[in-house]
Each structure stands twice: as C-alpha cells, then as structure tokens.
C-alpha cells in the first residue's frame, strides 16, 4: 500500500468575508495549495470537499461539482460532512483513495461561509450537529452543551474559570502575527472573565467565533513524492464515534471518540503519545482544549486546567498546542477547520510557521464534530 504525502497547502483569510462567496473561497484556497505544491491542476485525480452546511448557510449544495467547476478540474469530486470534523473526514477519504491506488494526487478543500445569515440562524444551523430530538429542539445550543461539560469538569476536578480563560489567552497570543487569523490581538484573563456571558460558565471570549474561510491541501502518493520540494508524510489517521446526545455518554468530562481515534492513529503510525511534539486540537470552547489534552494523554485526567496554567501547552511548553491560534483566534469556519489544522501542522514540519518550533518531528491534529459524536485524529511527520 502506497505511502501518502502532503505536497502543498493553501488558505484564505479567516473572518467575516463579506466580499467573497463560497465559490471564491474554494477557488482561492485550491489555487493557493496547487501553487504551493508546484503542481498543475491536470495532475489532480479527485477533489474532496469538507463542508458542514452550505445548503443552510448560503443555499448551495453539490459542492464537489462547484469546486471542480470553479477550479476547472474535470475530475471526480465529492463533498463530505461530519459537522465540525468535515474537513478531516474529507482528508481521510483522500488518503484512502491514494492508498488504494485509485489516484496519485488529490485536492482536499475545507470550506464554510457562515456570516451570510443572521447570528441566531448560524447558531441554530450549528445546533443541527447535535441530537435534534433531545437537544436542539428544546433550545440547547453547543455553547449550552459545552457549558454543561465545563460545569461537570469544574465539579469533579476543581478546574477553575481562570484556567479555562488561560486557554483563550494563550491561543490569542499565538495568533498574533498570523495573517490568516480572524483575531490577531492579545487578550488577558481579565478580558475573558469580564466578557459577556454566553452560557455560564462560558463567556464570549471562551467561544470560537462564527467565521468564513477555506483551506486546502494537495495530497499525493509515494510515486509523486520526488516531484515535491518539501513533502510531509501522513503517518496515521483514525476516526471514531460516540453518542450524538450528550446525556447518553458514560461521562461528561471525556470524549470516548477522541481516545479511540487517537489510539487508531498512533497504532497506524507506530508511535506513542510521548513521541508527539506538538498538536492542533479542537478548541471550539475553552473547556474543550482542556478535555482534549486529557483525552489525548498529554496530561492526566482532571489535570488539564493545571497543565494549561503551568504553561504545558504554550509555545515553550512540554506539548505546544494550537501554535497558530486555534479555533478560538484563527476562527472556526466549521468545514474548513480540520484542513486548516493539517495545513498548520504541515507548515510547522516544513519549518515555515509564523511561530516556528525547533526540532519538531511529529505533529497531531484532533478535529471534533458536534459535542464529540465524531472525532478524527491525524498524525504527520517529517519525511526522512
């Protein structure tokens, strides 16, 4: 079975992009990734689009064909949906297509255009990624669900509001200088604590924003590796599921799908979690980064808040997390996030990140759909 490599990455600015359409975002990111790879569009055997809800946000379905049309690539093209994990699911399907020998080069695009509807409509569209019958139909938004998770974590482990606020502070600091980020301003713990309450204990600065944007990857087989200047190797990929409704979980303070997906990816890569030098994790809300680093075993269960407080996830910490700003500061165009995470890991491993880490060899992303019903983990490494 052939090895898979990332040959190029591309990304639009993330933010409230009033002057660009969904079509524009897909084309811009795809062209950028092809240019970064130094490849012509005729070499692409398939297009894999990650998107959660373009039909509800902008009234557009059939995104595979839209991407192919926009880019002038007359290859097979399909859309993949897994809520906020849609981008990573599209990436996994591209990996499988290449590993199977079906094609030697694929273009992965993650995209979402969320600001063309009013905020209440955007929030309810996101809520559709939960259990409609038990959650969204009675008004439970994702901020509400993660607030329940946060309260339980605080109760069981003594996690503090200040520790959750520190997640946002660190990620905003990492986004300073990131030209793609929606927010490039530093914030303080006081700023987070004093910001408007969304769903207690989560305030507005604990929450990732509503965002427009796209990111893209060119993925190739081993046959094409020598044509690429700085290839990054895909070492492992895992995906798992948990219950859709939060009340059916065994625990509110852990996400079983994360643990299962990580185990699959690490086994495939032949690595241990202690081998991972840095990670991009799904910080849709500040509490989720704390739970993510626990579920990935970067720290012990219940000690995520303390790990953040003592700087474990900082750029000079034992496991730098969200080194370019995370969902909180870069923005969270839901279908694009997983692809953006993988693009940022690729830049770190190639040595051209705006917050470049020294001597990194292995990077991991965790992309979560909904409140944890879907989790995808990918591991990338420096090609040797």
Catalytically active residues are 84, 332
Residue 225: other Cβ atoms inside 10 A: 16
Contact 14, 180 (CB under 8 A): yes
- Classify residue 12 by its DSSP letter: P
With vertex at residue 233, the alpha carbon angle to CA 267 and CA 220, rounded to the nearest 5 degrees, is 120
DSSP 126-193: HHTTS-TTTTGGGT--HHHHHHHHHHHHHHHH---HHHHHHHHHHHHHHHTT-TT-S------HHHHH
What is the C-alpha separation between 129 and 337, in angstroms, rounded? Answer: 15
User: CA–CA distance from 102 to each of 220, 221, 225 (Å)?
Assistant: 11, 10, 16
Residues 6 or more apart in contact with residue 290 via CB below 8 angstroms: 153, 159, 163, 164, 167, 304, 305, 307, 308
Residues 6 or more apart in contact with residue 282 via CB below 8 angstroms: 84, 288, 289, 292, 327, 337, 366, 367, 368
With vertex at residue 67, the alpha carbon angle to CA 35 and CA 15, rounded to the nearest 5 degrees, is 75
- The C-alpha torsion from 119 through 146 and 167 to 272, rounded to 10°, is -120
What is the C-alpha separation between 131 and 79, in angstroms, rounded? Answer: 22
Which phi and psi (to 5°) does residue 175 adopt? Answer: -85, -15
Burial class from Cβ neighbours inside 10 Å (0-12, 13-18, 19+) for residue 242 reads buried
What is the C-alpha separation between 43 and 319, in angstroms, rounded? Answer: 37
Contact 291, 149 (CB under 8 A): yes
């Amino acid at each position: 079975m052939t090895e898979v490599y990332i040959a190029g990455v591309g990304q639009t600015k993330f933010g409230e992009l009033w002057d660009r359409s969904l079509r524009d975002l897909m084309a811009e990111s795809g062209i950028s990734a092809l240019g970064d790879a130094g490849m012509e569009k005729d070499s692409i055997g398939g297009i894999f689009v990650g998107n959660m809800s373009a039909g509800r946000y902008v009234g557009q379905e059939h995104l595979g064909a839209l991407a192919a049309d926009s880019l002038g690539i007359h290859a097979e093209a399909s859309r993949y949906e897994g809520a906020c994990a849609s981008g990573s699911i599209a990436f996994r399907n591209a990996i499988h297509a290449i590993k199977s020998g079906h094609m030697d080069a694929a273009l992965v695009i993650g995209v979402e255009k969320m600001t063309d509807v009013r905020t209440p409509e955007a929030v309810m569209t996101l809520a559709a990624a939960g259990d409609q019958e038990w959650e969204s139909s009675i008004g439970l938004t994702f901020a509400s669900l993660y607030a329940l998770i946060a309260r339980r974590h605080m109760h069981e482990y003594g996690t503090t509001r200040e520790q959750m606020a520190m997640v946002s502070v660190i990620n905003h600091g990492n986004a300073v200088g990131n030209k793609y980020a929606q927010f490039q301003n530093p914030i303080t713990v006081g700023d987070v604590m004093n910001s408007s309450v969304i769903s207690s204990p989560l305030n507005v600065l604990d929450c990732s924003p509503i965002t427009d944007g796209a990111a893209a990857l060119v993925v190739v087989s081993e046959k094409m590796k020598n044509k690429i200047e700085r290839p990054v190797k895909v070492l492992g990929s895992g995906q798992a599921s948990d219950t859709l409704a939060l009340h059916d979980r065994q625990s509110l303070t852990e996400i079983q799908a994360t643990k299962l997906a990580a185990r699959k990816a690490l086994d495939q890569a032949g690595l241990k979690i202690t081998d991972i030098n840095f990670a991009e994790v799904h910080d849709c809300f500040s509490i989720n980064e704390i739970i993510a680093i626990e579920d990935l075993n970067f720290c012990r269960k219940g000690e995520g808040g303390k790990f953040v407080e003592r700087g474990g996830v900082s750029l000079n910490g034992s496991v730098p997390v969200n080194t370019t700003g995370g969902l909180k500061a870069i923005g969270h165009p839901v279908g694009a996030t997983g692809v953006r995470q993988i693009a940022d890991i690729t830049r770190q491993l190639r040595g051209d990140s705006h917050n470049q880490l020294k001597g990194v060899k292995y990077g991991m992303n965790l992309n979560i759909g909904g409140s944890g019903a879907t989790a995808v983990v990918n591991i990338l490494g420096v090609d040797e």
